Amino acid sequence: MTLITTLTLTDETDSEAHYAEKLGEDGSPLLGTVSVQKWALPKPTPSTVRVVLDFYETVRPSSSRPAADVAHRPYAAEGVLRLGATVIVVKNRLSGIHQPPEWLEQYLGRTGTVLWTTAGGAMVKLDNEATWFPYAELEVHG
């Protein structure tokens, strides 16, 4: 299910723009006032913005736990992902509410170095930043 509404600029400060929805025929707005950081907006500040709400379907956890090696299965042929390994960020094959595809898009195709590993993923150094990725989003390079 997707809901779309248009918000109109009501107020601005040095750092934020405040938007509100005009009341619909039934008199109840979809959203309250929304504040957006000005660094995220084009200049000049837009007088209207469109908000799209997409709802993720929640998945109830199963009563049985997956095997402990599930997170490492993409690397069965190459061995265990080791510290210092060079990895490429790949398309999320196991997306969920904690790793939505929209978040991953900014990292796709980037190459980094594994700083440390956890049970479900690895902390990867990408240029001047470090970000944790599930094993399903990493591919060993070289």
94-139 pLDDT tens trace:
555 555 666 677 788 889 998 888 777 888 999 888 888 888 788 8
The pTM of the full predicted model, rounded to 2 decimals, is 0.42
Note whether 132 and 104 are within 8 A (CB). no
- The answer to the question of residue 62 being in a domain is no
The pLDDT value given to residue 76: 36
> How many structural domains does the chain have?
2
User: Taken in order 131, 134, 139, 140, is the CA torsion positive or negative?
Assistant: positive
Note whether 41 and 17 are within 8 A (CB). yes
- The answer to the question of residue 64 being in a domain is no
77 and 25 together in one domain: no
81 and 24 together in one domain: no
80-99 pLDDT tens trace:
577 888 888 887 655 555 55
34 and 80 together in one domain: no
45 and 102 together in one domain: no
